[in-house]
Amino acid sequence: MGHRLEGIELLDYVLRVSRDMAEAHSLAPLLAYTIDKVLTLVGAERGYIALKKQDGSIEFSIRRDNKGNDLKGLADEVSYSILQEVVQSGDSVVLSDAMQDPQFGQAKSVMALRLRSIMCVPLITRNQTIGAIYVENRSIRGRFRETDLAPLQLFANQAAIAIENTELIENLKIANDHLTELDELKNNFIILVSHELKTPLTAVSTYAQMMNMIVEKAGLEGDPMLSRTAANLDKATNRMKHVIDEIVQFFRIVSGQLEMVFHEVRLKDVILPIVNGLTAVCQERNLTIQVLDLQTLPLVIADAQRLKVVFQNIIGNAVKYTPDGGQISIQAVCKDDHLLEILVKDTGIGIPKDEQKRVFDMFHVLGSIHTHSTSKSAFRGGGFGLGLPIAKGILEAHKGDIHLESSGFDEALLPGTVCRVTLPYVAEMVPEAA
């Protein structure tokens, strides 16, 4: 730059450079860009940016000449006396001839290096000095004047903000990478533990089957204690297997490893077997499940087994959170945007409004864990907090979605809950073969 910038021209230059600095997301390129623009702005031969470390010491982050060359190993060829004074006081320094300056002329670094024109301004953001910009011209005495300080200070103010923002972005990226690594370790650990649990569980299940065979061969089926023990053992192992399968399935979903086999599916072929499987529970608890016409619905392209898991969890939740004597209805409608909407409504205790999104979070369970009661069908029987997250993950893999609606939680008024599931359909309504 052949002449010193002033007025509107200077302001325009600083604004253009400030915009470029604000777009930087990495510290090293930002510092290189900043010092190059500073050298151009003030006409200096060399420039340095020093930043304060956490222990308060000063470290040169970049050293360049006015030709864009990095100055390797020249950190000692500046005046630390001047640099320390600027960083500690927060005041700028401009010297026309450092060797003749009454304050710094006797400094060892100034005398040894025979320093001439020097300017040094602090980098200040939020009233904290984070470093300094140091420029010099050794060949020319009187290169810098007091009037040169204002443009450099204006520039330094913008640079300080950009440097702090970039450091925050880099620290955030480091923290995010660390969290991602921890999350992956957690996922791998849980899957590993789940697989390790399957080995002893398989052994227990085998022993339970052997016990049933021995009881049968010995003609002891009528022994109530043996029958009850065998039934409880079978129930416990099946429950444990279900929990382990849920854990593995969920972490396959979040890691993108859940395999899908898509083909044409009739929704009724997924839902009706689930409802029929709940007949005994509904009779025991005097629950009514009404399935409205599913015969004329269009086909969906889906993984039938995965959809079965989705509706087992949704309908199972409706059963668990509806008191004895309550009602559950299941219906589906075609929406204008080529989506199939399935509604599962219950007359249960409802869900608090602040919980209606959190129930899709991993391991989140309604109510206090201190009153948690594990059951697949008992009223308010809890689960492992994975059913709805699994359902949401599977539906999203089908380009569908799930939402819960309830006016709130009330054990007396029973406001109920509506679960809305959407799935895209790709076929028109197809009548069943006779």
pLDDT band for 370, please (50, 70, 90 cuts): very low
pLDDT above 70 as % of the chain: 86
263-424: CATH class: alpha beta
- Output the 3-class SS for 231-271: HHHHHHHHHHHHHHHHHHHHHHHHCCCCCCCCEEECHHHHH
Mean pLDDT lowest among 21-25, 131-135, 321-325, 393-397 = 21-25
Percent of the chain with pLDDT over 90: 33
Provide mean pLDDT across the span 286-294. 93
Per-residue pLDDT averaged across 249-277, rounded? 89
Looking at residue 377, its pLDDT comes to: 65
Whether the CB-CB separation of 64 and 35 falls below 8 Å is answered with yes
Per residue in 236-257, pLDDT (tens digit) is 888 777 778 877 788 778 777 7
What is the rounded average pLDDT of the residues 126-142? 84
Tell me if 116 sits within 8 A of 55, measured CB to CB: no
Taking the C-alpha atoms of residue 297 and residue 320, their distance in angstroms, rounded to an integer, is: 28
- Whole-number pLDDT of residue 429: 52
Write out pLDDT tens, residues 24-52: 888 889 999 999 998 888 888 889 999 99
pLDDT for 142 beyond 80: no
> Of the candidates 41, 45, 84, 81, which has an alpha carbon nearest to the alpha carbon of residue 64?
45
Q: Tell me, rounded to whole angstroms, the distance of Cα 416 from its chain centroid.
A: 32
User: How many angstroms separate the CA atoms of 381 and 26, rounded?
Assistant: 52
Res. 119: pLDDT tops 50: yes
Q: Is the pLDDT of residue 220 over 90?
A: no
Go through the chain and tell me how many residues it has: 434
pTM of the model: 0.56
* Of 87-91, 215-219, 290-294, 352-356, minimum mean pLDDT range: 215-219
Phi, psi of 375 (to 5 degrees): -165, 150
**Cβ atoms 178, 127 nearer than 8 A:** no
Provide the Cα torsion 121, 125, 131, 134; round to 10°.
Answer: -20
Confidence of residue 109 (pLDDT cuts 50, 70, 90): low
Say whether pLDDT at 304 is over 80.
Answer: yes
Residue 122's pLDDT is 94
Q: Which of 31-35, 72-76, 368-372 has the lowest mean pLDDT?
A: 368-372
- Judge whether 7-173 and 263-424 match in fold: no
**In the predicted model, what is the mean pLDDT of residues 176-191?**
79
Q: Which residues are CB-contacts of 241 (< 8 A; sequence separation ≥ 6)? A: 198, 201, 205
| Among 194-198, 259-263, 368-372, 428-432, the least confident range | 368-372
Segment 371-397 mean pLDDT: 76
Amino acid at 353: K
59 has pLDDT over 50:
yes
The answer, yes or no, to whether residue 334 has pLDDT greater than 70, is: yes
Long-range contacts formed by 191-195: CB under 8 A, 24+ apart: 191/247, 191/248, 191/251, 194/244, 194/247, 194/248, 195/248
pLDDT attached to residue 376: 61
CA angle in degrees (0–180, nearest 5) for 397-400-402: 110
Q: Where are the domains of the chain?
A: 7-173, 175-254, 263-424
Q: What is the pLDDT of residue 372?
A: 47
pLDDT class for 1, splitting at 50, 70, 90? very low
- Distance between CA atoms of 85 and 373, rounded to whole angstroms? 68
> Would you say domain 7-173 falls under CATH 3.30.450.40?
yes
Mean pLDDT rounded to a whole number for the chain: 83
pLDDT at position 282 is 94
Give the residue-averaged pLDDT of 324-334: 95
